[in-house]
């Protein structure tokens, strides 16, 4: 009885190990077992996902760098302008690679002109800076919409493959061919949704951060114009 139980336990462990190995292999080879169409579509979706991740992190670092500026920046600018040190104020702006500094620098270069001209010049500079921050962000919105569509295309292709195999086999379709079609239908749908979700979240997060920078630019514009209108 002892040896019988031992053999039974060993057989169960062996069967469990083989089952786990088959499951792991099926997951690892899921992309390639779906056929050529599955491999191509999944490859395109992986490329789109890589582009999405690259744009997100590249824009995140760019926006973070754009927000870095001394909290006492506007106070120093105000002191220099009220003291007549215009060149010192310009030199201070040149020390910062920031949209806020370039915005203030444009306003300083227009000092002496009508306030409306200064305001218009600052607004144009702010629009240009926001445009730079939005570089490639709209592409994320495109990927968020195209990713699931390509996944659904793979679903349709997979189902067509399955039905075609059934139609040409006279009711005795090869199960491996049907499995390839089902692989294509399922895996491409999942991959497309993953790309769409990641791109959608990345797009909205970047838009939120860009709006934050835009609000700071607008607040800086108001502060600068109020500073020019202050009585000497």
Averaged over 200-220, what is the pLDDT?
Answer: 91
- For tokens 């993953």, name the residue: 194
Cβ–Cβ under 8 Å, residues 220 and 74: yes
Residue 6's pLDDT band, with cuts at 50, 70 and 90, is very low
More confident residue, 201 or 170: 201
Q: From 60, 31, 89, select the one nearest 205 (Cα to Cα).
A: 60
For 56-70, write each residue's pLDDT tens digit.
999 999 888 887 877
Model pTM? 0.74
* Range list of H helices, 30-85: 30-33, 36-67, 73-82
Dihedral class, residue 58 (left if φ above 0, else alpha if ψ from -120 to 50, else beta): alpha
For 106-125, write each residue's pLDDT tens digit.
888 888 888 888 888 888 88
């Amino acid at each position: 009885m002892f040896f019988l139980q031992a053999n039974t336990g060993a057989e169960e462990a062996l069967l469990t190990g083989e089952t786990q190995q088959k499951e792991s292999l099926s997951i690892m080879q899921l992309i390639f077992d779906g056929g050529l169409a599955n491999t191509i579509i999944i490859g395109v979706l992986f490329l789109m996902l890589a582009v999405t991740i690259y744009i997100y992190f590249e824009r995140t670092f760019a926006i973070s760098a754009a927000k870095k500026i001394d909290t006492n920046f506007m106070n120093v600018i105000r002191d220099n302008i009220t003291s007549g040190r215009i060149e010192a104020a310009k030199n201070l702006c040149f020390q910062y690679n920031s949209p806020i500094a370039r915005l203030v620098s444009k306003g300083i270069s227009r000092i002496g002109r009508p306030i409306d001209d200064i305001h218009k010049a600052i607004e144009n500079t702010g629009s240009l800076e926001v445009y730079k921050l939005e570089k490639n962000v709209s592409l994320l919105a495109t990927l968020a919409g195209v990713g699931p569509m390509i996944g659904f295309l793979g679903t349709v292709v997979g189902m067509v493959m399955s039905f075609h195999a059934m139609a040409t086999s006279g009711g005795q379709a090869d199960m491996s061919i049907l499995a390839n079609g089902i692989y294509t239908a399922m895996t491409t749908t999942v991959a497309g949704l993953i790309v769409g979700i990641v791109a959608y979240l990345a797009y909205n997060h970047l838009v939120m951060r860009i709006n934050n920078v835009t609000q700071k630019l607008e607040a800086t514009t108001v502060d600068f114009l109020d500073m020019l209108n202050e009585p000497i």
